[in-house]
Amino acid sequence: MYALCDANSMYASCEKIFDPSIRDKPVVVLTNNDGCICAACHIAKRLGIDKKFVPYFKVKEDLERAGAVIRSSNYELYADISQRMMDVCSRYAPNSHIYSIDEVFHDYQGWMPPEGWFKHAWAIRRAVWQEVRLPIGVGIGPTLTLAKAANHAAKRIPGYRGVAVIDDETSRRYVLQNMELTDVWGIGSRLARRLQALGVDTVWKLANANPGWIRKNFSVLVEGTVYELSGIAKLGWDDVRAPKKEIYSIRSFGQRIFTPADLLQALTQHAGIAAAKLRRQNSLAGTAIIFATSSPHDARGYYRKYITHRFAVPTQDTTVIANACRQAVQAIYRPGVPFYRCGVGLIDLSEKAAFQHDLFTPSADNPELMACMDAINVKYGRDTAHIAGQGIRQKFAMRRQFLSPQYTTRLSDIPRVKC
């Protein structure tokens, strides 16, 4: 069995953890430079002011009328809360796979919870709420696609209240019959229209379609989806395509890693994989989350550390991201810790085509210069030559008019408690 845990309106929910005064208000979060709305809490959604990726200045009056609380993206806070959520979730499964900043898959590898799947899913949801104060949905199913479908049901189909399990024919039928084609993992709107044109107009019909016919008319991928929906696992982690909005590259090591050099090598590799994906989809990343952990099941106690690195200028250059990793290793590495997993997450993505160049902070993406600079730094020591922008705090370069404090990552920002 597999599970998918994901946070409800991650960014807006994070804003509510340390600011009790906005918990029952509509909260919307803006993208970098306070450009557009990128997240909204359920209260804001109910009021219909969750217009994703609409420029802020266009909806400013509507938001004011609705009494909405506006926040700039506080990635330091979101990354920290994300790590906490992943830590708690990964206690519940022998193997977990972080898929994005607010989604993690569990692979139970044949293990069965003695209390049953439903109670197990509830336990995960309750633990994340109690320990992190983050509301999550948990979906469990026999394939990755069905786990994703169950997760959709948990959040969207009335009656499930945040937890859904597909573990027999009845539950599989009920969930699939209450979904739209575009709700299925890997089925976009264009594909849905083509399926409908050929008479496959419901998810249930797709699940019962003839796989060979689907392969002939569509693709091997859609054929895989048909198998997965009927309960036969076809997808592995590597087929799981990253969402457009963020890119994660993470691996657990076959053997534990003990030296900073090995850790840097692994992280640099992840930087390369993630940056290549980024270039393939023509995006730029504004922020990287670089992290490493020991195993939550290690006897010596759990160690995890991560760094949130904001790039002075959004980048898609492997060397820029690898440089960030090199700086991060210094803070992440600890002698004696058996590192088990590490990774690089690129978040805060934007379209390269839409990128507005900044007069004062030129882009650092220059492969030749990067190579030369690295060579100098290897020979004469770290940061002998570096980009001027590296030392300039992002805060001055970026519009973050509505930024909340970094409650968990800056000592000057930790919450005040009235005695």
Report in angstroms how near the CB of residue 60 gets to other proteins at its nearest: 25
Binding mask 126-165 for other proteins (x = CB under 8 A): ----xxxx--------------------------------
> Given candidates 254, 301, 381, 391, which one binds other proteins under the rule CB under 8 A?
301
Binding mask 114-133 for other proteins (x = CB under 8 A): ----------------xxxx
> Given candidates 45, 47, 87, 374, which one binds other proteins under the rule CB under 8 A?
87
Does 302 sit near other proteins (CB under 8 A)?
yes
Choose the binding region for other proteins from 47-55, 331-339, 353-361, 381-389 (rule: CB under 8 A). Answer: 331-339
Nearest to 136, CA basis, from 161, 172, 99, 107: 161
Choose the binding region for other proteins from 36-44, 85-93, 232-240, 269-277 (rule: CB under 8 A). Answer: 85-93
Say if residues 302 and 293 touch (Cβ distance below 8 Å). yes
Say if residues 9 and 50 touch (Cβ distance below 8 Å). no
Report in angstroms how near the CB of residue 24 gets to other proteins at its nearest: 8
17 burial type by CB count under 10 A (0-12 exposed, 13-18 middle, 19+ buried): middle
Nearest to 319, CA basis, from 279, 282, 263: 279
Choose the binding region for other proteins from 53-61, 243-251, 265-273, 330-338 (rule: CB under 8 A). Answer: 330-338
Choose the binding region for other proteins from 17-25, 239-247, 367-375, 381-389 (rule: CB under 8 A). Answer: 17-25
Relative orientation angle of helices 367-380 and 318-332, to the nearest 10 degrees = 30
Distance, CA of 184 to CA of 188 (rounded, Å): 8
Q: Which two tokens stand for residue 287?
A: 């922020």
Does 334 sit near other proteins (CB under 8 A)?
yes
Does 411 sit near other proteins (CB under 8 A)?
yes
- In the β-sheet with 247-257, what is the strand arrangement from edge to edge? 247-257, 339-351, 283-293, 304-315
Say if residues 4 and 105 touch (Cβ distance below 8 Å). yes
Report in angstroms how near the CB of residue 247 gets to other proteins at its nearest: 24
| H or E element at residue 286 | strand 283-293
Does 393 sit near other proteins (CB under 8 A)?
no
Distance, CA of 90 to CA of 139 (rounded, Å): 15
How many residues interact with other proteins (rule CB under 8 A)?
33
Beta partners for residue 13, in sequence order: none
Q: Which residues bind other proteins (CB under 8 A)?
A: 18, 20-21, 23-24, 83-85, 87-88, 130-133, 301-302, 304, 334-337, 407-412, 414-419
